[in-house]
Amino acid sequence: MDKLNQLLAQTTFKKGIMVPSVAFIFLVTLLSSLFPQLTGAALGHIQQWIFTNLNWVYVWSVTLFVVFLLGLVFSKYGAITLGDDDAVPEYSFFSWVSMLFAAGMGIGLMYFSVAEPVSHFSDEAFSELSAVQRTKNAQLYTFFHWGIHAWAIYAVVGLSLAYFTYRYKLPLSLRSCFYPILKNRINGVAGNAIDAFALCSTFFGITTTLGFGVVQLNAGLVEVGLLHSTGFGYQIVIVVSIMALAIISATSGVDKGVKYLSQLNIICAVALMLFILALGPTVFLLGSFSEGIGYYLAQFLNITFDTHAYEPASQPWFFRWTILYWAWWISWSPFVGLFIAKISRGRTIREFIIAVLLIPTLFNFLWMTVFGNSATWLDQTVAGGALSALADKPDAILFKFLAYFPAAGVSSTLATSLIFIFFVTSADSGVFVMNSIASNNAENSPKWQLTFWGALLALVALVLLNAGGLQSLQTMTLITALPFSVIMLLFCYSLMKGLVVDNHYYTKGFSVAASNWSGELWKERLQRILSSKSQEAVDAFMQQTVQPALQELAAAFVSKGTTATVQRTTTPVGVALTIKHELIEDFVYGVQTQSKTISSFLVQEDNVPDVKGTKRYIPRTYFGDNRPGYSIEYFTQNEVIADVLKQYERFLELSSEVRNEIFTDTTLKRRN
């Protein structure tokens, strides 16, 4: 008991996140395990209603994510670094890509590489099409589901987290993405609720993937002869083994276990893919890869916006695949986004988006072409439809597919090893991310916390696997994707607000008063900088500096035969010098009092003298041609005169150019 109290005293868990999350996890687990059929039926009806009536929300959300990210790539904001301007990446490019790839879709590539293309090829929704068109469609929709759109979902969360964490120095948690909207309220109840939602979503997503994936791994181990059956006892051994290795990997840190396992993943996956490419219909695969990319690009806009509203017969397929995929990727995005953000410090926004969208996408395309097109080719030429008959059994179809190649035992063993390693990398990344969420990204968390999450994942997965409640948990996870898609749209809005402020802050130049200042009268300048910026102070500046300067200059103009007047103005409140003209616009140089809201942080700062209230006032110029003005609060009387002459010289230069007559000619305006 004393040791337990000592452990709890050392924890970095945040009660506001941890307590409601764990309570909700246990409640859902209890319902799903005790009443699996009832819970599954109720959640299934809700999911079907959402997919049928609100599928457009998923379609438009994912579309906006793609457009938003591509817009950032080609914008001036793409050069912003995820960190300080001089920050450098923590990981090599290969290590970085390996980790984000393994965390994002590793196990899915094994599970669906054969099953999905064969399912699309043999689905009744496309039965009226020719075999060639069904083959091309199978590749197209597989590309669509595993391509840019899927990675855009992950990239939105990962980019938002990385930006606000490394640029704004906020914790690596979803609450930080709302800082431009909520400000300091992210540290309260609202922030805890956001992180608790992310924690539950991450936990449920990993649990269901772990549970369903164990079935495929079990089938693979039976195929290679290491196990005799797919009984629950064997599944316990598999889950415990996976989570034990995941905990060891997670407790060793991202720099060691996660990174090395991810690199091993990529190497083994490439080896298996090259094996199929070399021994399969190589020329056909390389040609269809080229055609597949072209067909995908040609159909990109069409499939992006397509809701099958005019094709009711294919809508069940659309809900079962496209909408289900979008919901699944969205439900996984807190987990993958957090992990990607964790490893992306020092990358520019442009580099981050291009790498996250394109590199895994191109690899996925090549992978799905090699496995998927080989499967559809074999099904039509050798297997006689045997693979199509197994389309609804993704845990078995991969190994049936490998049986058509030489050295089937070796390839099945490699595939099984890959599935196992992919599970470990997904699990250890998940353990690491969940602990980060629950502790609000606290540093130096005790290792027992990582062990706790690994043990809880294994326990819940086994309980639900035995009770038949994993389907209910998966369905609920997909339902939560709908509100989270709205949250992700707010991420985009918040990120855009942050980028605009960022660009303004780092590109803002010196004030006009400093542009030509030689440093003379610096003590007086210092006194003005530190003095109160009240309305009374600005009014005094107007009366003692601006108005005398304009009057002195007006008298000089009059002495040269030019009509010039100085008047106090009420709209706006200030003083203005006007030089009258007959054929061109009058020249107006005015100064008005303008108020600005002060940051609450500056008001509370003790080392900034004479900051009173939340408003400050400045004397700001305005001109007759409605150009933006600027502050002249630190100008001396001679500097005001020099500034007016500079603007008047510009006015005459522009008025002398023929091409500017449309702006300066007032005769037409007077006739109208």
Which one, of 333, 353, 335, 332, lies nearest residue 344 by Cα?
353
Task: Give the sheet arrangement for strand 564-570, strand by strand.
Answer: 564-570, 573-579, 587-597, 615-623
CB 180 within 8 A of CB 498: yes
Residue 503 has pLDDT above 70, yes or no: yes
Which one, of 138, 573, 220, 565, lies nearest residue 388 by Cα?
138
Residue 606: which pLDDT band, with cuts at 50, 70 and 90? low
The one-letter amino acid at 287: G
565 part of a folded domain: yes
Which one, of 617, 618, 598, lies nearest residue 608 by Cα?
598
Domain shared by 531 and 391, yes or no: no
For the chain, what's the residue count? 672
Domain shared by 269 and 394, yes or no: yes
Six token digits for residue 535: 């309305």
Give the C-alpha separation, 488 to 194, whole Å: 12
Domain shared by 460 and 524, yes or no: no
What's the pLDDT score for residue 670? 44
| Domain C-terminal end among 501, 533, 565 | 501
Poorest-confidence range of 137-151, 313-327, 341-355, 412-426?
412-426
Domain limits for position 558: 517-671
1 part of a folded domain: no
Angle at 302 between CA 301 and CA 304, to 5 degrees: 60
Where is pLDDT greater, at 639 or 504? 639
Six token digits for residue 616: 């400050």
Poorest-confidence range of 48-57, 338-347, 408-417, 652-661?
652-661
Give the C-alpha separation, 104 to 100, whole Å: 6
Q: CATH code at 140?
A: 1.20.1740
Give the C-alpha separation, 322 to 413, whole Å: 31
Dump pLDDT digits (tens) for 211-228: 777 876 787 777 767 777
Dump pLDDT digits (tens) for 248-278: 877 775 555 556 666 777 788 888 999 999 9
Domain shared by 588 and 470, yes or no: no
Give the C-alpha separation, 121 to 187, whole Å: 50
Q: Which residue has the tokens 């394109």?
A: 358
Give the C-alpha separation, 175 to 434, whole Å: 14
What's the pLDDT score for residue 549? 94
113 part of a folded domain: yes
The count of structural domains within the chain is: 2
Domain shared by 458 and 521, yes or no: no
Domain shared by 301 and 342, yes or no: yes
Domain shared by 440 and 535, yes or no: no
| Domain C-terminal end among 466, 501, 536 | 501
Domain shared by 464 and 569, yes or no: no
Six token digits for residue 250: 């997670």
Domain shared by 259 and 366, yes or no: yes
| Domain C-terminal end among 441, 468, 501 | 501
Residue 13: which pLDDT band, with cuts at 50, 70 and 90? confident
35 part of a folded domain: yes
Q: What is the dihedral angle through the alpha carbons of 73, 74, 75, 80, rounded to the nearest 10 degrees?
A: 40
509 part of a folded domain: no
The DSSP letter of residue 620 is E
**How does the average pLDDT of the chain come out, rounded?**
83
Give the C-alpha separation, 475 to 47, whole Å: 7
530 part of a folded domain: yes
Domain shared by 128 and 257, yes or no: yes
CB 614 within 8 A of CB 495: no
Q: Is the dihedral of CA 243, 398, 472, 336 positive or negative?
A: positive
Give the C-alpha separation, 123 to 82, whole Å: 44
Dump pLDDT digits (tens) for 60-84: 999 999 999 999 999 999 999 998 8
Question: Where are the strands (E) in 19-110, listed by range?
Answer: none
The DSSP letter of residue 631 is B
Residue 672: which pLDDT band, with cuts at 50, 70 and 90? very low
Domain shared by 244 and 160, yes or no: yes
What's the pLDDT score for residue 576? 92
CB 414 within 8 A of CB 268: yes
Which one, of 289, 291, 293, 265, lies nearest residue 277 by Cα?
289
What's the pLDDT score for residue 603? 58
Domain shared by 480 and 563, yes or no: no
Dump pLDDT digits (tens) for 106-155: 667 777 889 999 999 998 888 888 999 999 999 999 999 999 999 999 99
5 part of a folded domain: no
Six token digits for residue 505: 């802050």
169 part of a folded domain: yes
Residue 289: which pLDDT band, with cuts at 50, 70 and 90? very high
